Chains A and B, each alone.
Chain A
């Protein structure tokens, strides 16, 4: 009396379900791979930028500093890369081998950029403001998330600011050297501004207090903006 369901139908449903389920798994994996590839290519571009700047700087070493265009000398992509890398770490997990390797490479690029900036600084008297930031994502740093938000905001507000972020626990000798040079203790978050370490959460206002130049940048920008709007109203 009851409708008979053929075993074939149960099996067919199972095969379709499994195909869809594992298809989704594969698609998701494919997307992750293309993201990793994107991060990798951004890193390569930065590496190229740095190499180019280093070469340019070496060529002009003996001659005038004016020949260096300071606005383009430093790679701008370090900022966006930081965010992309953080996103990857979030979705793949911080233990993912590829993520760790990308992060190590990123840390090295930051150090190279930091050295280049210091060199230009010394020779030409240009003074970009650098902030070195040490964080941990092992769950032992409650304020690191908030400090991250603050630095991202500052970075957007002041393109003049060069922020270098390092995972305190990253197993990379260059990063360890950075830690020891600046004498940073394991009290995170930690900021190093002009060779002076600051521990604990710092709000944007705190950072602006430590770096009074930031205020000048803002005033200059506000003034320029005011002038621009004044000219446009004149028209």
Chain B
């Protein structure tokens, strides 16, 4: 970040308004830094527990488990999803799989017929009613100790259930376990970007776990104790982010949700910007609406870090993100405009910046940005280690740092507008 100004004589001037905007930014940056430091302290407290899985170690008890696979027009991926479940390292008599066709209009039901006769698998067909109705149907038909769900576009690692069952065995109070989500075979630049985003998310989720501050039990392979549904009821319609509403409902009843990073689940990610936009708009909108619905937990100490940190970030984070984004965008546009004027005036060759250490930007804001970048890389680094066992540099990290700040405002802004107008976002 070398800022150079060859224009010797002409200068910009700071206005009072600009100073005010700067001050607000400083406050936001202070809070963001505080949060990062808080997570880092948690990381140092937790780091000994972040070991890799203890392979082939038998469990003292294998709880009976039902995995529900709700499908709606998933003819292409359903087989692969079921196959990955059948390959799980888990006693066959303890694991049953419910394939629930939620009124698909394609060949999903026909494709699923090939699993008829497998003693582990039960097939159900129902009228279309939305994903949560399919999952509820499965829950009502299950008698297992643990009940979970796997979206038909995701695949599980063979040790995932074993690791989750162990977490349930180790802590009687754990009521739900979420896995680590990993992007499956990223191909496009956006998918590679999402891979790093998921790594970052995985790290933060893992840090939120011991703080009892997880606010979503994602559709792919979150597993619950059966009694949870008896206590707080089934899934209900909630802004197309039912998995978030359910987690918040659990939290409001002080039911423990833990994240087990050694249980990995591979999920497909949107390949194009439009698909990504649709998905994230739904998430961002759902996050804000559900947080509003459960706002009674916000800033209440009895709900711990969830009330003090996760929920406020879920709601206000969008504003802070957009504020910081517009600040950076404003300055970027201004310096690009200056550069264009310079090139138009004296030509391209004379506008090349001179690399003199004198012009290296050491403004307070610049030093803070270097630090945020450093902390960000530290988090990505540890996210990769959490997911892959050791750090490997990848193009995804580059794309994430470069692109995420540019694409994310697209859905954040739209989500804000939709929240303001109370306009529901579609599933697809």
Task: Determine which of A3, A28, A85, A155 lies in contact with B212 in the assembled complex, contact meaning CB atoms within 8 Å.
Answer: A3
Q: Are A31 and B41 in contact (CB under 8 A)?
A: no
Q: For the complex, give the distance between the alpha carbons of A152 and B351 in Å.
A: 10
Q: For the complex, give the distance between the alpha carbons of A41 and B14 in Å.
A: 27
Q: Are B364 and A25 in contact (CB under 8 A)?
A: yes
Q: Are B10 and A144 in contact (CB under 8 A)?
A: yes
Q: Are A82 and B8 in contact (CB under 8 A)?
A: yes
Closest to A10 in B: B38
**B86: CB under 8 A from chain A?**
no
**A13: CB under 8 A from chain B?**
yes
Closest to B41 in A: A13
Secondary structure at chain B's binding surface: helix, strand, loop or mixed?
Answer: helix
Task: Determine which of B29, B362, B371 lies in contact with A32 in the assembled complex, contact meaning CB atoms within 8 Å.
Answer: B362
Which chain A residues in 8-52 approach chain B with CB under 8 Å?
9-10, 12-14, 16-17, 20-21, 24-25, 27-28, 31-32, 35, 38
Q: For the complex, give the distance between the alpha carbons of A139 and B11 in Å.
A: 9
Q: Are B304 and A3 in contact (CB under 8 A)?
A: yes
Chain B residues closer than 8 Å to A139, beta-carbon distance = 13
Q: Are B338 and A28 in contact (CB under 8 A)?
A: no
Closest to A27 in B: B367
Q: Are B346 and A153 in contact (CB under 8 A)?
A: yes
Residue of A38, A151, A155 ringed by the most chain B CB atoms within 10 A = A151
Which chain A residues in 148-188 approach chain B with CB under 8 Å?
148-153, 155-156, 165
**B21: CB under 8 A from chain A?**
no
Q: For the complex, give the distance between the alpha carbons of A149 and B352 in Å.
A: 12
Number of B residues, CB within 8 Å of A: 46
Chain A residues closer than 8 Å to B173, beta-carbon distance = 1
Chain B residues closer than 8 Å to A28, beta-carbon distance = 362-364, 366-367
Count of chain A to chain B residue pairs whose CB atoms are closer than 8 Å in the complex: 138
Q: For the complex, give the distance between the alpha carbons of A203 and B350 in Å.
A: 14
- Stretch touching chain B among A66-74, A89-97, A121-129: A89-97
Closest to B7 in A: A148
**A138: CB under 8 A from chain B?**
yes
Say whether, besides A3-B211, A25-B364, A146 and B41 are in contact (CB < 8 Å).
Answer: no
Q: Are A150 and B13 in contact (CB under 8 A)?
A: no
Q: For the complex, give the distance between the alpha carbons of A38 and B360 in Å.
A: 14
For the side of the interface on A, what is the size category? 35 or more
Q: Are A91 and B363 in contact (CB under 8 A)?
A: yes
Closest to B346 in A: A153
**B6: CB under 8 A from chain A?**
yes
Q: Are B13 and A86 in contact (CB under 8 A)?
A: no
Task: Determine which of A25, A31, A83 lies in contact with B6 in the assembled complex, contact meaning CB atoms within 8 Å.
Answer: A83
**B303: CB under 8 A from chain A?**
yes
Chain A residues closer than 8 Å to B33, beta-carbon distance = 17, 20-21
Chain B residues closer than 8 Å to A155, beta-carbon distance = 8
Chain A residues closer than 8 Å to B362, beta-carbon distance = 27-28, 31-32
Binding site for A on B (CB under 8 A): 5-14, 29-30, 33-34, 37-38, 41, 173, 210-212, 254-256, 302-305, 338, 341-342, 345-347, 350-351, 358-359, 361-364, 366-368, 371
Binding site for B on A (CB under 8 A): 1-5, 9-10, 12-14, 16-17, 20-21, 24-25, 27-28, 31-32, 35, 38, 79, 82-87, 89-91, 93-94, 133, 135, 137-139, 141, 144-153, 155-156, 165, 203-204
List 17 additional contacts besides A86-B9, A138-B13, A152-B7; criterion CB under 8 Å.
Answer: A2-B254, A3-B210, A13-B34, A13-B37, A24-B367, A25-B364, A27-B362, A82-B8, A85-B8, A86-B7, A93-B14, A94-B11, A135-B10, A141-B10, A152-B6, A152-B346, A204-B346
